[in-house]
Amino acid sequence: MKKPSLVIKPFNWVKYLYSLIFTKKDKMICLIALVVFGFLGIFSFRYRVIAKEALDCVFRRFTLRKCESGLDRRLKNQITSNVGKKHPKTAKFLFKYFEVFSWIMVLLLVWSLFEVGVGVYNYVNYGSCIKPGDDGVCFLNPIESYTQSSNVRGTYPDNVVWPSAGNSPFIGDGVEVIMFGCYTCPYTIRAENEIWDIIERNEVRFVFKDFPVLHHRNALEYAKKAYCANKQDLYFEARSLLFSQTGDLENHLDLDEQAYFECLENEDTEIRVLDVFNEGINAHVRGTPTFFIEGEVISGSRNQDLERLERMIIDAQT
């Protein structure tokens, strides 16, 4: 007698997903409970028990098995009961469409976790949960978001040494303003266009000090590129590209590439860039952008900061 062959049917993902979404009711509330009570369980044993129960329920639901603990039903009844005490009609509607409500909450949860992950990634790489060029508020650094300037980490001397223009790049003629800014600081980037508007409207000698906030990704590298471009009289062209986060200057500017790359690889270049950084530290630059004008210091890119800067320029002209 011929032995029957074993037939293995391919796994039907469409059928699985359909069963997962449409035939297992109230499973999504267990997923939300897992996240919420898992976090609360850090602080209380009581919530750890519920989190463990939610984990078991989620595992069973996603393997198309019944949640034996009944946690999903208890949570559903508890939530609709609490709502029903004040809004009976709303509770009735919520009970009827509880699975839809659960899915909406899960999607919001996933979106929130994604945004938090992006914020943490930006904070690690740029020193702010706002990526360079973006707008928004960083809740990981509320003081920075309020002042609209990137905080600088450094050891400051007791006495303030007022910065000088020196050999730094400048434009215009008139009231001298010395600006310390970082190419990857979202607040310096935000202020850049308004600064050029101020230059066009006033008689001002604007001196630019490239001040890399060292815990920002690419900050030191971009400052070195600006320094090397300046040696070929292409500082302002490079500045515009670097603020748009375009780092491959050699592909956009008419550079002597051999001299440019030799400059970047030269150890002296980093020393010169850090000399400017240390000049800012000695001047107690604690955030970027920072402006020095007529014995006053203005830090930040808020509208009121830039308006104050322009008022001081105008007053100094009269």
Angle separating helix axes 98-126 and 28-40, nearest 10 degrees: 50
What ranges do the domains of the chain cover?
A: 13-126, 151-317
Which residues are 297's β-sheet partners?
292
Pairing of strands 175-181, 204-210: parallel
What pLDDT band is residue 133 in, cutting at 50, 70 and 90? Answer: low
Calpha distance 50→288 (Å, rounded): 47
Q: Is 216 helix (H, G, I), strand (E, B) or coil?
A: coil
Q: Are 31 and 106 in contact (CB under 8 A)?
A: yes
Which segments within the chain are labelled E, that is strand? 150-151, 170-171, 175-181, 204-210, 287-288, 290-293, 296-299
Summarize pLDDT for 196-228 with one digit per residue, the tens: 999 999 999 999 999 998 888 899 999 999 999
Q: What is the DSSP string of 43-102?
A: T-HHHHHHHHHHHHHHHHHHTT---TT-HHHHHHHHHHHHHHTT-HHHHHHHHHTHHHHH
pLDDT of residue 28: 63
Summarize pLDDT for 141-180 with one digit per residue, the tens: 554 444 555 666 667 888 889 999 999 999 999 999 999 9
Q: Which CATH architecture has domain 151-317?
A: 3-Layer(aba) Sandwich (3.40)
pLDDT of residue 42: 78
Q: Hey, what are 81's tokens?
A: 């009961």
Mean pLDDT of 17-38: 60
Summarize pLDDT for 65-97 with one digit per residue, the tens: 666 666 767 777 777 888 888 888 888 887 787
Share of the chain above pLDDT 90, in %: 39
pLDDT of residue 20: 44
Q: Are 179 and 291 in contact (CB under 8 A)?
A: yes
pLDDT of residue 89: 85
